[in-house]
Homo-oligomer: A and B are copies of this chain.
Amino acid sequence: MYEGAIQDLIDELGRLPGVGPKSAQRIAFHVLSADPTDIKRLAAALSRVKEQVRFCVLCFNVAEEEQCRICRDPRRRDDALCVVEEPKDVVAIERTNEFRGRYHVLGGAINPLEGIGPDHLRIRELMARLASGQVTELILATDPNTEGEATATYLALLVKPMGITVSRLASGLPVGGDLEYADEITLGRAFEGRRTL
């Protein structure tokens, strides 16, 4: 509906996840009236991500060098390894300040409906890391949904025979939440995992 460049931008923005036609148009008009240096910075940031960001050769987290910041950090424990689905899960766990070990990013979860099997995830690379014998505890921090649970179960079966302690993040009521609004499964898990005070 618009002329040339502005329509091109609306089309390109509309291809991004979570950006509908209305927000694409809104962003495009923002770009049109924004400070040119701001837009140059955004365009440069886009290009730089494609040029500079890669995946850590050890854990497959996002990295700007061969290894990511966490793998390079000599103060982290080498005996605890936390398995997550995506790089954003690393960030979420880092924010808690609860874990001082290393990570392994699978790049997804087992999902037969979408044709994602164990071979599509970095499980072979995980097994290679565990084979060195340094890791004594493996924490399976995949998502608490069907795919994440299936992936955790699969990995537990694979790793337990190696004599490594395998754990899974606790399921239960979210802190600050309301008991009456919890779904049955979450509430059931919270009961199951109740602790003596």
Asked whether, in the complex, the Cβ of B23 is within 8 Å of the Cβ of A18, the reply is yes
Contact of A29 among B25, B39, B64, B88 (CB under 8 A): B88
With known contacts A25-B88, A27-B16, A45–B5 Cβ distance under 8 A: yes
Question: Can you name the residue of chain B whose Cβ is closest to the Cβ of A87?
Answer: B29
In the complex, chain B residues whose CB is within 8 Å of the CB of A62: 2-3, 6, 32
Closest Cβ of chain B to A19, distance in Å, is 7
A169 located at the interface, meaning its Cβ lies under 8 Å from any Cβ of chain B in the complex:
no
What CA separation (Å) do A95 and B26 show in the bound complex?
18
User: Quick one: given A17-B27, A29-B86, are A2 and B91 in contact (CB under 8 Å)?
Assistant: yes
Interface residues of A in 1-44 (CB under 8 A from B): 1-6, 8-9, 11-13, 15-19, 23, 25-32, 36, 38-44
Q: Which of A15, A62, A95 has the most CB of B within 10 A?
A: A62
Question: Would A3 and B50 count as touching, CB distance under 8 A?
Answer: no
Check A49 for interface membership: any CB of B closer than 8 A. yes
Q: What's the nearest-Cβ distance from chain B to residue A168, in Å? A: 24
Q: Which residues of B contact A132 (CB under 8 A)?
A: none
The answer to whether B3 touches A31, judged by C-beta atoms less than 8 angstroms apart, is no
